[in-house]
Structure 1
Amino acid sequence: MRKFVSLVLYTALMLGANVSQANEADTLRDLRQGDMKKLILHSAPKEKPQVAFQTEDGGTATLADYRGKYVLVNFWATWCAPCRAEMPMLDALQGTYGGEDFEVVTIAAGRNPVPAMKKFFAEAGVENLPLHRDPKQQLARAMGVIGLPLSVLMDREGREIGRLIGDADWNGEDAHVLIEALIGAAN
């Protein structure tokens, strides 16, 4: 079945289907399989507040800094067991698709000391993800994060098009089909 879905996706892309002119959520809705069925897609993109978070180099950034590409924002914490299981899959997703059209942005919400975050990433074998922080949870609150992990899928304009509460296999074929549908149509 997955190979059939992939074939349909690639055929649509070859025939000129354009995700950027359609609502991304509508395009993705029928492609959700496996863990990706937990991805709640919005009928219309939702504007998000531009609250600053701390970058791994000690500076600040907002999600507006990522406009122009699709972004999967993942809120996590060092004490979160499901986050530990999910993080290597997010790292692999970034390694495969990260670049000009797509990026995984990880943000530790709450009190997560930098040494503990580095240890967490080292133990999980994470090499491709940033160590951003939201220590006072200002961004997490503004984005309605009610539990961890939580992943928010954003369009090229920085609007939320979907969210997934809990962990998921972000490096599985089901996730790849969704990401390819977004970035493949953009190229």
Structure 2
Amino acid sequence: MDRLMLRKTALALYGLTLALATPAAALDPALLTGTMAKMAPVDPYTPSITAYTQADGSIGDLSDYAGEVVVLNFWATWCAPCRAEMPSLQALQDELGDDGLEVVTLAFGRHNPEAMARFWADTGVTTLPLHLDARSEVARGMGVKGLPHTVLLDREGRVVAELVGEADWAAPETLALMRALLEE
């Protein structure tokens, strides 16, 4: 290799190293108000287990949402707070779904598909995906211990924050936070 080629290679590797070493933008603490005050930023990490079962029985993967900001909600049919917050998750998808945000739902543990569909109908959910984490592998990999539990993933698929418990996902402060994430 000649010197010019070595220099170009070294510069390319240096640029790649800087890009990989640069942390994701932190959530603006000023946006963590109201229902989003419970949102806890985390050191960004890529989940190790990302596969789940889709409503049709096929295997899906969180990588299917690459390039989108993902609001990943773990829920269960027996969870009263999950039932209470589900309409606001649908409203969030309706409001920002065309802007690069995807609300992805994962039923936690074993569930009867008919009971899941009934839960959707009862809570007014019309377009959110009906995915299942039957063995709770994705949930365990992300440290989910109770429900509801919602995890935010950036456009690169890294977990950047989590919220344990119920939230109003259609509240003005939630929409402001999500819009800020979409602008990054």
TM-score tier, shorter chain, comes to 0.7 to 0.9
Superposition map of 1:147-162 within 5 A: 147-162=146-161
Asked if the contact 1:70/1:101 (under 8 Å) is kept, the reply is yes
User: For residue 133 of structure 2, what is the aligned residue in structure 1?
Assistant: 134
User: For residue 24 of structure 1, what is the aligned residue in structure 2?
Assistant: 25
RMSD between aligned alpha carbons? Answer: 1.5
User: For residue 181 of structure 2, what is the aligned residue in structure 1?
Assistant: 182
State the distance in 2 between where 1:180 and 1:22 align: 20
Asked if the contact 1:87/1:126 (under 8 Å) is kept, the reply is yes
Once the two structures are superposed, residues 54-111 of structure 1 have per-residue CA deviations (whole angstroms, 9 ceiling, x without a partner) of 0112111111111111000000000000000000000110011113511000000101
> Displacement of 1:143 after TM fit?
1.4
User: For residue 145 of structure 2, what is the aligned residue in structure 1?
Assistant: 146
State the distance in 1 between where 2:107 and 2:140 align: 13
Identical amino acids, percent of aligned pairs:
46
User: For residue 86 of structure 1, what is the aligned residue in structure 2?
Assistant: 85
State the TM-score, normalized to the length of structure 1.
0.83
State the TM-score, normalized to the length of structure 2.
0.84
Superposition map of 1:61-140 within 5 A: 61-99=60-98, 101-140=100-139
Asked if the contact 2:75/2:82 (under 8 Å) is kept, the reply is yes
State the distance in 2 between where 1:158 and 1:85 align: 27
State the distance in 2 between where 1:179 and 1:166 align: 18
SS in 2 for 1:130: coil
What amino acid sits opposite 2:70 in the alignment? V
State the distance in 2 between where 1:160 and 1:62 align: 15
Larger radius of gyration: 2
SS in 1 for 2:98: coil
Asked if the contact 1:50/1:64 (under 8 Å) is kept, the reply is no
> Displacement of 1:172 after TM fit?
0.5
State the distance in 2 between where 1:22 and 1:141 align: 24
Asked if the contact 1:35/1:169 (under 8 Å) is kept, the reply is yes
State the distance in 2 between where 1:120 and 1:158 align: 28
Asked if the contact 1:50/1:63 (under 8 Å) is kept, the reply is no
User: Where in structure 1 do 4 or more consecutive aligned residues deviate above 2 Å?
Assistant: 21-26
State the distance in 2 between where 1:61 and 1:77 align: 19
